[in-house]
Chain A
Amino acid sequence: MRYVDEFRDRVKADVLVKEIERLLAHMGRDQDRPLQIMEVCGGHTHTIFRYGVEGMLPKSIELVHGPGCPVCVLPMGRVDDCVAIAERAEVIFTTFGDAMRVPGSRKSLLQAKADGCDVRMVYSPMDALALARKNPTREVVFFGIGFETTMPSTALTVLQAEREGIKNFSIFCNHITIVPTIKAILDSPDLRLDGFLGPGHVSMVIGDAPYEFIARYYKKPMVIAGFEPLDILQSLWMLLKQIDEGRCEIENQYARVAPAGGNAVALQAVAQVYELREFFEWRGLGSIDHSGVKVREAYAGFDAERRFAVPNARIADPSSCQCGEVLKGVIKPWQCKVFGRACTPETPLGALMVSSEGACAAYYQYGGIKRGRDEAKASAA
C-alpha cells in the first residue's frame, strides 16, 4: 500500500538499527545502565509491540511505555459513572470499542450491555449524533475519551448538534490533556528517563510549541514521532543523536502530518467547547492539576454530567496494582506483583491490562511474559 509500506521497509530499518547501535556505543552505554526513553503515546506502544521493534534494539536502550493510552488511565470511578448513566432506561450509551472492557468497581460497560443496558460501540462521535437524530425519544450519550487527538472531533460534534438544535445528545466528557501529565512525570522524584518520544497525533492538533518547557526547564530532549515502525526507529535515532551531541531540543520527526503550529480549526473548536478542570484523577498517577477538560457552561445542555446525576465517587485502585510505577517507568510490567497472575487480559485488575495500547496487555500479548521470565531467570543466575 502506498504511504504505508514505505514506512515498514526492512532494509531502511536495518540501517537505522545499526546507526542506533553506533550512537549507543559512542555514548559508552551498556546493558547495566541502559538509556531509558519513554514513548508517551499508547499508539507508539502498540506499534513497538506489533512490529517487534523492541527486540531489534540493543539492550543498552530501554523503552518505557508511558501514560498515553486514554483507556488505561481512566479511573475506576469514571467507569462507574458511565455504567450509572448507561443503566438509565432512556439512555443509549455510545462508546469507542476499547473502552467497553475497562473494569469499573462494579462492572464494565461490556457487562452492563450483557445486563440489558443499551450500550453501543461507535467509531466516531458523529455516529453517536446520527443515533440521536434517529432516536428522538431516547437520550444518546457519547463517552468522550482521549487526549487532544480525539478532543476536537467531540467538540465539533457538540457544535454540530447545537447548529441542528438536537436536544437528546450529550457527551460524558473524560478528555484529558497531555502537557500537565508529562510535567507530572517529570516532577516525579523517582524519575529516571533520559528522553521522550512525543505523541504525533496530539501534535497534529497542538503543534510542538507546548512541549518547549521539557527541553528548556527539565533539560530532557523530545522527538515528536509518527506511528509507523520506521517513524519510531528514526525518532529514536534523532533522540540519541541529540543526547550524543549534548543537545536538548524538541524536534519533529512527524512533520509530514503534524505542522509546527498545530491545527487552528481544531484548536478553535476545543477552546470554544471545553475549559480546564481544576483537577482530574488519573488511574495509577493520582490527581493531576489542569489535566482534564469539562464542557463549558455555554454548552451545558450537551454535558451528560449536568444532565444526569452521576455518583462521581472516587474509587481507589486495587492496592496490589502497580500501574503507577509501570506508567512512570519505575518498573517493567512483568515486575508488577500481579502481572500475569491475578491480572491478565481476561481478568484485568489494572487498566494497563485492558486496552491493546496498555503496556501490560501489550507485554502479555506480544511476548512480554517470556521476556519477563527470561530476564527474571537471568537476574537470579
Chain B
Amino acid sequence: MNMISFPPRRPRGKVHVPTVTLAHGGGGKAMKDLIDDVFVAAFDNPLLAPLDDQARIDLLDLAQYGDRLAFTTDSFVVDPLVFPGGDIGKLAVCGTVNDLAVGGALPLYLSCAVIIEEGVSIDLLRQVATSMAATAREAGVKIVTGDTKVVNKGACDRMFITTTGVGVVAAGVELGAHRARPGDAVLVNGLLGDHGAAILGARGDMALQSPIESDCAPLQGLIESLLKSAPNTRFMRDPTRGGVATVLNEIAEAAQIAIEIDESATPLRNEVRGFCEILGLDPLYLANEGKIVAIVPPDEAEPAVEAMRAHPLGRQAAIIGTVVAGEPGRVTMRTIFGGRRIVDMLVGEQLPRIC
C-alpha cells in the first residue's frame, strides 16, 4: 500500500483566555488551539508539527547510534509546580533523559502527556512547556508526540506530566548491578539531597527559609564522559525518590553484594546538612534529580572521578564507598564519628521527628 503523506496545512491556533477550562480537553477547536499555542510552539520540531497520532522514526537513523533500543516512562507530580532551580516541566524531561542515560543509552526522543486541572493559568502552562523545550534542547532530545487531558477541578493536583523516552545503547555498553564485585568503588557526581531539600523548603509549610536550589539537570553528557574514562563501569542509577540510601540498597539487594559507604566522604551542602539537622531528616534519603550513583572497578575509580569533575555537573564528584565482602544485600556506613551503622530502606516517607 502506498503511503501518502500530507504536509501540515493547518494554521497555528491561539489561546485567547487566561485559564484552562474543560473546553480545552474537549477535542475541539479550543483543544487544538491550546496544543498549538502552548506545546507545538514550544517544542517546535517537524516530527511533532503534523500532530499525527504517532511520531514515525526512521529505524536506520536510530541504528547509527547502537544496537539496542532503550525505552522508559515516568510520571511527574510535584508540589510546588515551580521551585528553586526548576519546575515540573524541567523535572519531566530530566527524569526520563536520566533514566535512559544511566542505562548507557543515548536519549533521543520523548513523548509528553499532560493532565491539567481546569483553572490552571495558561501562563503557567506556557512556562512549563517552555522549560520542557529548553531542557530537551540542552539534553539533545526531541519531544515528538504527546497527549493533553483536562480534568475537573479537584480531580488532580493542578498538573501531572508523564514522559516516555527512547534512546539507543551503543554496541559493547553493558551495565548491570550483577556485574559489581568486592573492591569496586561507589561514586556520586556531586552534592546530595539538594532537590529534596529545595522542594521541602519551597512548600513553605515549615517556616524555614532555604536558599537551596534543586539539582535537576539532564546527565547524558556527564555520563558520556564517565563511560569514556571508565569503560568498564559496572552499573549506574539515578538516586531520585528515596535518595542514595535507597539506590544503594536496591543495588546491594539485586547484586547480592554488600556496600560500605563513608559518611565523611559523602558530599553534602552545608545548607542541606543544617536543614536536615533542624527537621531530624537523613540527607541520604532525600531525592536528587541531577545525580548518579556509579559502581566502577577499582582501577577506573580515579579516572571516573576526574572525568566527572571536569564536567560542570560533576564538580563535586566523589568516591563515597566500596563494594565489600559482607552479608549480601547489606549497606553499612562508617559514621563521621567513627561508629558503624546499617543504612536500610525507608519504610515510608521520612517523617520529621517531634524534638
Contacts and interface: CB of A to CB of B under 8 A. Distances in A.
Nearest to A57: B339
A79 interface: no
Contact of B354 (A8, A127, A150): A150
Given A8-B336, A50-B341, A51-B335, A97 B355 contact: no
Interface residues of A, number: 48
B259 to A, nearest CB: 14
B338 A10 contact: yes
Contact of B341 (A52, A101, A145, A355): A52
Nearest to A110: B348
A1 B207 CA distance: 21
B345 to A, nearest CB: 9
A126 to B, nearest CB: 8
A10 B355 contact: no
Contacts of A22: none
A130 to B, nearest CB: 9
Contact of B336 (A10, A98, A145, A370): A10
B339 A56 contact: yes
Interface stretch (A117-125, A274-282, A296-304): A117-125
B273 A1 contact: yes
B338 A14 contact: yes
A118 B342 CA distance: 36
Contacts of B270: 1
A193 to B, nearest CB: 23
Chain B interface extent, by class = 20 to 34
Nearest to B270: A1
A365 B344 contact: yes
Contacts of B330: 370
A27 B73 CA distance: 64
A43 B340 contact: no
A14 B342 CA distance: 21
Scoring B280, B339, B352 by chain A CB atoms within 10 A of each residue's CB, the highest score goes to B339
B352 A98 contact: yes
A97 B351 CA distance: 5
Nearest to A149: B355
A121 B351 contact: yes
A49 interface: yes
Given A122-B205, A365-B344, A370-B342, A229 B354 contact: no
8 contacts: A53-B337, A53-B339, A56-B337, A56-B338, A121-B351, A126-B207, A355-B354, A364-B344
The 3 closest A-B pairs by CB, nearest first: A52-B339, A97-B351, A367-B342
